[in-house]
Chains A and B, each alone.
Chain A
Amino acid sequence: MKRKKGLSCKNIFSSLSKYIDKELDDSLSEQIDRHIGNCKPCKAFLNTLRKTIRLCNKFKPEYKFRIQRVKPNKDLEEEIKTTFTHFFRETR
Chain B
Amino acid sequence: MEKLQKRRTSAEKITRLLNDIRENKSNAINRFLKEAQQTVLSFGMKVCGGHVQDAEDTMQEVLVRFFRGARKLKFNDTKVLRVWLYKVAKNACLMNRRKGKYEPIYMSSINELLPRNENGEVQTLDIPDWSRIPDKLILEKENSHIIQKALLELPLDYRIVLVLRDMEGLSTKEVSEVVGISETNVKVRLHRARLFMRNELSKYLSPIYEKGERVEEEKGAKL
Q: Which residues of A approach B to under 8 Å, CB–CB?
A: 1-2, 9-10, 13-14, 16-18, 23, 39, 41-45, 47-67, 69-72, 77, 79-81, 83-84, 86-92
Contact = CB atoms under 8 A, between A and B. Distances in A.
Interface residues of B, number: 63
Interface of B: 1-2, 4, 7, 9, 21-22, 29-30, 33-34, 37, 41-42, 45-46, 50, 52-53, 55-56, 60, 63, 67, 70-71, 73, 76, 81, 110, 114-115, 122-132, 135, 138-139, 141, 144, 147-148, 162, 166-167, 169, 187, 190-191, 194-195, 197-198, 201-202
Given A13-B110, A53-B194, A91 B22 contact: yes
Nearest to B163: A56
A65 to B, nearest CB: 7
Contacts of B2: 54
Label chain B's interface by main secondary structure.
helix
Contacts of A84: 21-22, 29, 70
Contacts, number: 147
Contacts of B50: 61, 63
A17 B198 CA distance: 12
A57 B6 CA distance: 10
A61 B124 contact: no
B125 A41 contact: yes
